[in-house]
Amino acid sequence: MIRPFDKPIYVARPALPSLEEFRCGLEGIWDRAWLTNNGPLVEQFRDNLITFCGTKNLSLFVNGTLALQIALQGMGITGDVITTPYTFVATTHSLFWNKIRPVFVDIEPDYYSLDPAQVEAAITPWTSAILAVHVYGQPCYLENLERIARKHGLKLLYDAAHAFGVEVNGTSIAHFGDLSMFSFHATKIFHSIEGGMLTFRDPEYRRLFDYLKNFGFENETEVVMPGTNAKMNEFQALMGLLLLRRMDEMIERRRAINERYRERLALIPGIRLVSPPAETVRYNYAYMPVEVEQDEFGLTRDQLYLKLREFNVFARRYFYPLVPDYACYRGLVASGNLPVARRAASRVLTLPIYSDLALDDVDRICDIIGDIASRSCKWALAASQSGQADSVLALTDTQL
């Protein structure tokens, strides 16, 4: 019997700089007594991100959700927007807050992003834009979506909350579509405690977004548009600056963790690994999704999720339920029954991955999953031999 972990192993754990480095940065903030409203660290963070992403068309925000809300408002998007049901709810909330109607279409089964064919089929005269998500950091079908957007005169926006650091053919993912939103939340591969970034094709957006995130102020006495407050502060920028230096190292550690998981989990029947990234992609290993095949594994995804908690392993069901199944979005337009998204939502489990996760701990998580699988198979075998195959799933929660 494998022992549970002594301390909880969560799906994510924020990377942190050394306390000494952070304290040193705090001293500077204390000396200047400049905490927010476009301080020097936010400026420096922006400059460093311009170098990292290779574009000057970039704006920083207090979090990703407000960044996306402001983007939609600033770009003047109205009417219907075609989007994915398989995402974190903030993607849809951002549309709703702008009084835009989300139209959900199904995803493709390889990387769980919007299926371009379904997108094209759902376009109507009311459609103004496509809002796609690079789920788990894997790029969407970029060329197909771009072609569809141009052909139909639609704006193309990416929720790239998971995709910071990803490159396609050596180009940052920040360069695709009309605009991309990145989240720098503590649970992300790279973070500034909370934080968000927009990158965009049209340089004019920079000034617009600057107004919108700072109450629309032109100067002390003039307000040129009804803005809100969504500015990044100096503490966030300090964290971001210190972690940005470690980006390559953090991706490399995640790559090694992902590789170890893939080697070990490939041996467990009923655990299906997601397609590896295309050769043209420099992936960031933001998440570690696997699919649980109940027939082979012997338990459902939800049973495995609960069983892992008993071992102090807190995997998550990103993204379950589907957004259109949340009470506040039921009744919205969906094109068909979204079978691929429904299948993913009922089978995907995202396992713990973060740069400080030890490979020994990855091995132990895989041992636990393997152990749960073998015991569930024994139960299934025993139940089928005694003619009680149907009752095995009821048994497993309590008796495994």
What residues line the site for ligand T4K (CB under 6 A)? 10-14, 63-65, 87-88, 90-91, 133, 159, 161-162, 183, 185-187, 196, 314, 318
Min CB(346)–ligand T4K separation in Å: 18
- Nearer Cβ to ligand T4K (102/270): 102
Min CB(88)–ligand T4K separation in Å: 3
The b/e string for 30-40 (b: 16+ C-beta within 10 A; e otherwise) is eeeebeeebbe
- Nearer Cβ to ligand T4K (252/356): 356
Min CB(399)–ligand T4K separation in Å: 27
Strands (DSSP E) along the chain, which ranges?
A: 9-10, 58-61, 80-83, 101-104, 127-133, 155-159, 167-168, 171-172, 179-183, 196-200, 217-219, 222-223, 271-273, 281-282, 288-292, 313-314, 348-351
**Cα-atom radius of gyration of the chain, to the nearest Å?**
23
Min CB(287)–ligand T4K separation in Å: 8
Q: Give the nearest residue (CB) to ligand T4K.
A: 64
- Nearer Cβ to ligand T4K (89/377): 89
Separation of alpha carbons 205 and 225, rounded Å: 14
- Nearer Cβ to ligand T4K (159/167): 159
Q: Give the number of other Cβ atoms within 10 Å of residue 43's Cβ.
A: 12
Min CB(64)–ligand T4K separation in Å: 3
Min CB(89)–ligand T4K separation in Å: 8
Q: Which residues contact 295 (CB under 8 A, 6 or more apart)?
A: 270
What amino acid is encoded at 307 in this protein?
K
- Nearer Cβ to ligand T4K (242/383): 242
Min CB(140)–ligand T4K separation in Å: 12
Half-sphere exposure of 322 (CA within 13 A, CB side): 25
Q: Which residues contact 360 (CB under 8 A, 6 or more apart)?
A: none
- Nearer Cβ to ligand T4K (10/96): 10
- Nearer Cβ to ligand T4K (67/383): 67
Q: Which residues contact 190 (CB under 8 A, 6 or more apart)?
A: 15, 164, 165, 184, 240, 243, 244, 247, 250
